[in-house]
Amino acid sequence: MSEKVISDYNGYDYKKDFWENTGREYEDQADRMAIRKLLPKRMEKFADIGGGYGRLATEYLKRAHKVYIFDYSKSELKQAKDIYGDKVETRAGDIYKLPFKDDELDGLMMVRVTHHLKHLDQAITELYRVLKPGGVAVIEVANKRTLPKMARFITGRSKVNPFDKKVANYKDISKDGFYNYHPKYVEEIFDKTGFTTEKVLSVSNFRNKGLKKIFGTENLVKMEESAQQVLAPVRFAPSIYYKLRKPEE
């Protein structure tokens, strides 16, 4: 098997450095809005894959009887445990080899993780394996085919072709770089793995400093509410959310 990249969040305070007082309330609200629309109301066993410190836990704690937060980073998981205590069970490991049995979970989500995954197909196969037939996976994908990326390519400011289905690998986020995916490429993986796509949402449609200044977070969140569904068919947003189901046998 080819080499895997794990983006190491150990020792990085993702909560404080990425989310607190960093002007990302709109993005946080946009994620939550999508998750509320896509996650089943009641689940027995649910896992937040690459869940970090459990930023989004308040969206699923009431929906599931048993909640796991799974992540590679032990420092993120410790933070999750400090915040949620017995409400969650934390499990450490690598997405490419999940510590869950075949057909064990009836729900899972994976949000803001695909940009760290070099081998998305292998990760999706692993998510499929641990889901029960009939189970639901909510997966957020970092989109390479956004309007700003199209504009940068067409005007010659970027060499990354957003229309090309090939994975885009950017080098500058960390030593490992990060990955953006073309919606068609991802959807082919979902189909090939065996998932049925039940719903798609276009998320963080107005992720832009200028728009935040002009409209303010509150108004952007209101605009986002209808845009997630209306703009889903074009798939131009930086985040595309998928509600997938593993078919019943």
Positions in the binding site for ligand SAM (CB under 6 A): 6-7, 9, 14, 50-52, 55-56, 71-73, 76, 94-95, 111-113, 116
Judged by beta carbon, residue 24 or residue 165, the one nearer ligand SAM is 24
Residues 6 or more apart from 205 whose CB is under 8 A from it? 30, 223, 224, 227, 228, 231, 236, 237
Judged by beta carbon, residue 112 or residue 243, the one nearer ligand SAM is 112
Judged by beta carbon, residue 6 or residue 150, the one nearer ligand SAM is 6
Judged by beta carbon, residue 59 or residue 106, the one nearer ligand SAM is 59
Burial of 11 (0-12, 13-18, 19+ CB in 10 A): exposed
Paired tokens of 168: 């885009």
Note the helical H segments in 194-241: 209-230
Q: State the Cα–Cα distance between residues 167 and 161, nearest whole angstrom.
A: 10
Q: From the CB of 112, what's the least distance to ligand SAM, in Å?
A: 4
Q: From the CB of 144, what's the least distance to ligand SAM, in Å?
A: 17
Nearest alpha carbon to residue 115 among 143, 138, 78, 92: 143
Q: From the CB of 50, what's the least distance to ligand SAM, in Å?
A: 3
Q: State the Cα–Cα distance between residues 62 and 56, nearest whole angstrom.
A: 12
Judged by beta carbon, residue 5 or residue 248, the one nearer ligand SAM is 5
Nearest alpha carbon to residue 80 among 51, 60, 100: 51
Q: From the CB of 24, what's the least distance to ligand SAM, in Å?
A: 10
Judged by beta carbon, residue 116 or residue 144, the one nearer ligand SAM is 116
Q: From the CB of 224, what's the least distance to ligand SAM, in Å?
A: 17
Q: From the CB of 76, what's the least distance to ligand SAM, in Å?
A: 5
Paired tokens of 54: 């459990």
